[in-house]
Structure 1
Amino acid sequence: MDAKLIQFVETIVYVITGMIAFGVGFSIIRKVTPFSIRKEIEEDQNIALGIIIGCVILGLAIIIAAAISG
């Protein structure tokens, strides 16, 4: 096979693996919190919670990227 095709397939596999890991991590966060994150951010306009959730998302993304890249 062509080296670029192999690289493309590996990239797709890593993207899918990373998205699944990210989804599992975020669903764990949603289950652990005692309140509705969606309601707090959208309806109650809780900016602090939005910043915290954004930081958690960035942290998960950094951890997943480090795990995938080795």
Structure 2
Amino acid sequence: MEYLAAVQLAEMISTVIYTFVGVALMGVVWKVIDWLTPFPIMKEIEQDQNMALAVLIGLLFVSISIIIAAVIVS
């Protein structure tokens, strides 16, 4: 019984650690995208109401998060 508790605790700790790793990687990806674009993304989305750019960035984050999750799981 102690073995099962230790395994569950190890799984929870690794889940928390990998969650922070995934969030950190998403932050790095956001900084790289912001650095590579020749215009300020936040200004385009917030002030100019560029909905197409907002959808594009959202879908980009979804695809990157799927890739990060696949790498973490494997």
TM-score w.r.t. length of structure 2: 0.89
Unaligned ranges ≥5, structure 1: none
TM-score w.r.t. length of structure 1: 0.93
User: Match for residue 62 of structure 1?
Assistant: 66
Structural RMSD (CA): 1.0
Unaligned ranges ≥5, structure 2: none
Question: C-alpha separation between the residues in 1 aligned to 2:31 and 2:67?
Answer: 16
Larger radius of gyration: 2
Say whether 1:20 aligns with 2:24: yes
Shift of 1:13: 1.0
Question: C-alpha separation between the residues in 2 aligned to 1:45 and 1:24?
Answer: 25
Partner-residue secondary structure (3-state), 1:28: helix
Q: State, as a whole percentage, how many aligned pairs show the same letter.
A: 40
Instruction: Figure out how many residues of one structure are paired with residues of the other and give that number.
Output: 70
